[in-house]
Each structure stands twice: as structure tokens, then as C-alpha cells.
Chain A
Amino acid sequence: MAKDINQADREVVISIRGLRNQFGTQVVHDNLDLDIYRGEIVGIVGGSGTGKSVLLRTIAGLNRPAAGSVDVLGIDVLSADQDDMVDAGANWGVMFQDGALFSSLTVRENVEVPMRTVDGLDPKIRRALADLKISMVGLPYFAGDKFPSELSGGMRKRAGLARALALDPQIVFLDEPTAGLDPIGAADFDQLILGLSRSLGLTVFLVTHDLDTLHAICDRIAVLAEKRVLVTGTMQEMLKVDHPWVHDYFHGVRARAALDTKTAADVATKD
């Protein structure tokens, strides 16, 4: 899956420099640097509580860091005022760890919410487009009329993705999209993200613990440890890193199983 494009001449869409995040005395990030290029799927991994969700929220402008700069699509997220952020919000979509759908709106209305910011969009068209997004993320038509509480966990995740994609953003942030899905559902979801990313030219910032996802769709992996991005690189490069945590992560029992599946799948497609 690794693309052999020289990173030097690729457009940087997210650039983070010297980021520091702190809650009281607990320092979550310190001097964190990260670049993300247009069109790639980046998997962010790290132990529980290493601040993956916090990093995501910071880039999306939902959390104010103590220091550092965050530049998304040429906008300095930290100095942008409220109006700038609202408008720029059309350029990225966020799917939260627990869905965060509006509980008093149906799924269709949830997907329509971001579209309401577009002036002069005919409500009938808006509705039809919401139905399309719902169907694109693999939900049946009737799901549109349901409330989030009436959906299963996996369906809620898909609905969250549909809402994140409502405005055809250039970047989507996904927080553990496949957590809590059955293996088939998770594989479907991986393919869905990959397909959407390729056909819409999406840049995907993906927080995940799912090794299969990392193998299957991530162009690049960034490891969050020791309060910063420890290494970034392709899966092959990760396997060679000899930092103890990284080594354990990518060489553990589960990692090897995922690798075997992946190799088997590759062999199967080559035949």
C-alpha cells in the first residue's frame, strides 16, 4: 500500500510544530511535530491515554494547546477566530470516538446539519444528498429515519462518518472508527474509508488500535509515545524500529496474526 511518491514534493495539509498540551500538571504532548500530506491515510497509534484523541481535537481546533503551532490547509488553527473556524470547518470533518451524533435528530437530520450552512441549498436536494451519504457509508435507506439511540454501535459509527463527510471535506479525522465492530464489519469499514479516500481524494487522519486497519489501508503510520510523535513511516519501516514499545506493538502476537492475514491476502490477490 505504500506509495513511492517522494514526500518532498507532496503538498503538506497539516503541519504541527512544537505542540504542547497540558491538563493541570499532566503534560500530554511536549514539543510534538507532525506533517501530513494531501491524499494520504495516516494511522496514529499509541498506548491508551497517550493523547491521540487530544491530538485530534487540537488539530480540529477543539482544544487549545499550551504552546506550538497547528497549520491546517494554510489556516493557523490557533490564531483563527470563531468565524474563520466555522467556515474552515467545511474543509474537514470529524468523526468522534463515540459518534457524538445529535441524539434528538434522526440520522438523516444529523447528516443534513453541516449542509445547512450552505446558502441557498434546496431542502429537497439536501435531503437527497443526505440519503446518498448515508448509503455511501453502507447504511440501509431506513436508517435515515432512525434516531442514533435506535442504531447499533457499528451503525452509529457509520452515521458519524456520513456526517463527517457531509460537506465533502478535504480532510477527515476518524477516532477509532473500527473499535467495537465485528471483523467483517471492520474490514468493510476499512475498505469504505479506502474507497472514499481514493475517489474523493480525501486525506484521512485515523486514530486506531486496529492492526488490520493499519496493514490494510494506512499509507503511513505515526507512533505517539513519550509525549511526541516518536516515528512515522510505512508499515515496513515500523517493523524495523527497535524502540521497545514500537517493537512490542508491531511484533506482538496480535501484530503477527494481522501480518499473516495481510500476507495471505496479498498472495491471494496476486494469483
Chain B
Amino acid sequence: MKRGTVTRKSSQDNNHPPFDCRFSRPYELHIVPLMTETVPSDIEITSTDAAVTMTLRGAMTLPYVTQIVAEFDTLPMDRTVRADLSGVTRFDTSAAWAIASLRTRLETAGQHLEIQGAGIGPESLLKSVTDAMPVITPAPVVAGGLIEWVAAIGSSMVDAVTFVLELIGYFGLFLSRLVRAIRHPKEFRLTALVHHCQEVGFKAVPIVALMAFLIGVVLAFQGSTQLKQFGAEVFVVDLIAVSILRELGILLTSIIVAGRTASAFTAAIGSMKMREEIDAMRSLGLDPAATLFVPRILALVLMLPILGLIANVMGLFGGALMAWIDLGISPAMFMTRLVNGTDVSHLAAGMIKAPVFALIIGVVGCHAGMQVQSNAESLGRMTSSSVVVAIFAVIMADAVFSIFFAQIGF
């Protein structure tokens, strides 16, 4: 009888990690995890017409399982396979899994696997793994195509509309709870309101003031270089006053507050949502809208105009300083020019916008917080999306105001 013999050394010739370190540094366990005490696995395959005999040696553990499986895949499926495990020094679940899946494959092909020389440990592990082999139910395949593509566009449009409707819904919720708070002042959480006023208002003063001051400086500087060309330096006062009071003061403040506060609202409410604290509040008879939204949004509505006012003052101050240094317009002259030349309606046009922007920022922040699901990733996603949406909505509202004021000649 012909004895076709194939002998393969499996592990050493593939790009295998070096393992002789175990001799030189026997006590250091950290060189390669799981590879500490034994030689890597090694499979010798001898095949005859009747059966294939595999002799397995060394550590059959997770780092080698990829090679073991690759080796098993080359086995012929048309005859009995005998596996000799007597030389195996370590045997873990992954090895048991490899052998159990080989057995399944052989049995579907009408053959079987005989195992020899497995100790009590590997034997019982093999048994537990065989019992636990998962029955894989393939997931239904989603068909892609033009219809799905169109449907995706449609559903994202619907999502956008629902989003806007939800925001309006939250606004309504805020108003209704606010009215209730006015009618039942005892239930109102004044401490929370004061706390949030401090958080969103007081603590934002330094950054807002610095930002507005720098904007004033930049405006004066840029304006003066342009206006000098016409000898109209003195109009730099009007330029600064109108642009800061009407637009920039409140708009830039709102953008900073959107970045600071919308994200803080979303993170705070979202992490409560994540840990089921919102559900706990509901079950205790506390209304999340009244306890969480009203103090936050109201604090913003109260604080944003004040912050805007501070920004206006600081912007004018920066502008005046730069005008003095760069153009020699003295502070007294700047003051006279400002008072005489700038109508108070500019200030009003700016300040009217503040509560609206505050509502937008607050509602967007609270709404995004309530959309957080119970995983950490959605918290991050909603926080960044609330900032983006809040800033975008503020700029859009500002554009609407500009057009409106231009139309009515305000």
C-alpha cells in the first residue's frame, strides 16, 4: 500500500513571533501575553487513503488559533481524521472551538473526528465547548438599490421636519411650565434658577468681555485703515457703534454662549437620561420639564441680554481705545460722537434679539439632551450636534431679524 506522507511544520515557517525570550528572561511575564510557559503549537499531518492523522504539540492557545484553523482548513474532508493531543501542553477555549468546528465540518461531510490522548482538562473543556457551540442564525440581508436610496432621502427629510416640530414642541412645553410656575410660585425652583444664572451668566462674563473687547479693537483698526483713504476717520465711531450695537455684540455673545451653554445643558440632561435619572424623576412625580428645562432656559433668557450689554460696553471700549491710539480720536470726542451720532434704536435692535437667541439656545440644548440614548457615544454625538444646531439656528434667526428690520425701516 502506498503511504503518501505529508509532513508539515506549521508554526515556525510562517511569520511567527519570536519566542526564545522565554529562555533568556523566564520571569518576565509581559513579553507576549499567553505565551509564557510553553512552545507554540505545532501540527504534524500524516495522511493515508483511509485516514488522516494529526499530531498536535505545544500550546494550543489564542495567539496560535489562526494558524491552527488555517491548518485544519487544508485537511481533506473525505476521510476520518485522528487527532493526537497527547503532546499538547496548553489548551484553551479557542483551541477547543477550533477542534469542535472541525468536528462539525467533518460530520456534515459524513466523516468523523477521533481524538486521542486528551487529558481530563482538555476533554471536559472540549465537551463544554461542543455543548455551547452557538447555533448561528444569519441576519436577513438588506437589499440596496435605487428605492432604498430614495427612501433614505425621504426619511431624512421627514426627520428634519420632525426635528423642527419637536423643537417647537419643547418651546411650547417650556412656556406652559413657565406659566404654571408663575401661577404656583411656591413650586418654582428659585435656587436652581440662581445656580444656572451663575453658571450661564456670571461665569461667562470674562470670556464674553474679552471677546467683545478684541472685536472692538479689530473693528476700529480695520475701519480706520479703510476710512483714512477718504479722510473720513471720524466715521470710525459710527462704524464701531452701529456694527457692535446692532449685530456683533449680541451675535458673537450668543455664539459663545451656544458653545458653552448648549453643550453643558445637553451633557447634563443627557447623562441624567443615560442613567435613567429622568425616569426616576418621573416616577417620583417630578416633571423633568419643570425641574430641568425651566430653570435652565429661563436663566439663559435673563442672562443673555446682560451678557450682550456687557459685550456692547466692552466692544465700544475696545473700539474707543484703538481709535485713540491709532487715529488720535480722544475718548471725550468718541463719547460726544457716539452720543450725538448713534441713535438709541441701534441698541434696541440688538437687545431685542437677545431673549430670542436665548430661547433658541436653551431649547436646542435641552431637546438634544433628551435625545441621548443609553450609550456613551450618543451623549457625545448629541452634545456636539446641539452646539452646531444652536449656532446655526442663532445665525439664521439673526438673518431673519436683519431682513425684518430692514423691511420695517427700524
Contacts and interface: CB of A to CB of B under 8 A. Distances in A.
B29 A73 contact: yes
Contact of B62 (A104, A121, A145): A121
B134 to A, nearest CB: 4
Given A103-B374, A104-B376, A168-B93, A131 B125 contact: no
Main secondary structure on A side of the interface with B = helix
A145 B139 contact: yes
A149 B132 contact: no
Nearest to B376: A103
Contacts of B373: 149
Contacts of B101: 128
Given A104-B376, A129-B93, A141 B29 contact: no
Given A83-B30, A167-B34, A168-B61, 7 more contacts: A86-B30, A87-B29, A136-B128, A147-B374, A168-B92, A195-B128, A199-B121
13 contacts: A74-B29, A75-B29, A83-B30, A88-B29, A88-B33, A103-B377, A104-B375, A104-B377, A119-B63, A122-B69, A136-B93, A141-B135, A168-B61
Interface of B: 17, 27, 29-34, 61-63, 65-66, 69, 92-94, 97, 101, 121, 124-125, 127-129, 132-137, 139, 274, 373-378
Contact of B128 (A142, A145, A199): A199
A140 to B, nearest CB: 9
Nearest to A87: B30
Interface string A72-111: 0111000000011011101100000000001110000000
Interface string A166-179: 01100000000000
A243 B65 CA distance: 51
Given A131-B134, A132-B132, A136-B128, A103 B93 contact: no
B366 to A, nearest CB: 22
B62 A118 contact: yes
A198 interface: yes
A133 B133 CA distance: 9
A117 B32 CA distance: 10
A118 B132 contact: no
Contacts of B132: 132, 135-136
B29 A117 contact: no
Given A88-B29, A90-B33, A199 B135 contact: no
Nearest first, the 6 closest Cβ-Cβ pairs linking A and B are A104-B377, A149-B374, A103-B375, A87-B30, A90-B33, A135-B134
Given A132-B97, A142-B137, A115 B33 contact: no
A201 interface: yes
A161 interface: no
Contact of A122 (B66, B127, B274): B66
Give the contact-size bracket for chain A: 35 or more
A91 B36 CA distance: 11
A135 B135 CA distance: 9
A129 B374 CA distance: 27
Nearest to A73: B29
A125 interface: yes
Contacts of A141: 134-137
Contacts of B92: 168, 200
A136 B129 contact: yes
Given A121-B62, A167-B62, A168-B61, A198 B124 contact: yes
B107 to A, nearest CB: 17
B374 A84 contact: no
Nearest to B95: A168
Contacts of A199: 121, 124-125, 127-128
A205 to B, nearest CB: 19
A115 B63 CA distance: 9
B34 A118 contact: yes
Contacts of A104: 375-378
A122 B61 CA distance: 14
A130 to B, nearest CB: 10
Contact of B33 (A117, A132, A142): A117
B269 to A, nearest CB: 17
Contacts of B66: 120-122, 125
Contacts of A129: 62, 65, 93-94, 97
A200 B95 CA distance: 12
Nearest to B274: A103
Contact of A168 (B62, B136, B274): B62
A165 B132 CA distance: 14
Contacts of B376: 102-104
Contacts of A91: 29, 33
A167 to B, nearest CB: 7
A84 B30 contact: yes
A133 B134 CA distance: 9
Contact of A125 (B32, B69, B93, B128): B69
A46 B272 CA distance: 31
A117 B35 CA distance: 13
A139 to B, nearest CB: 9
A134 interface: yes
A168 B30 contact: no
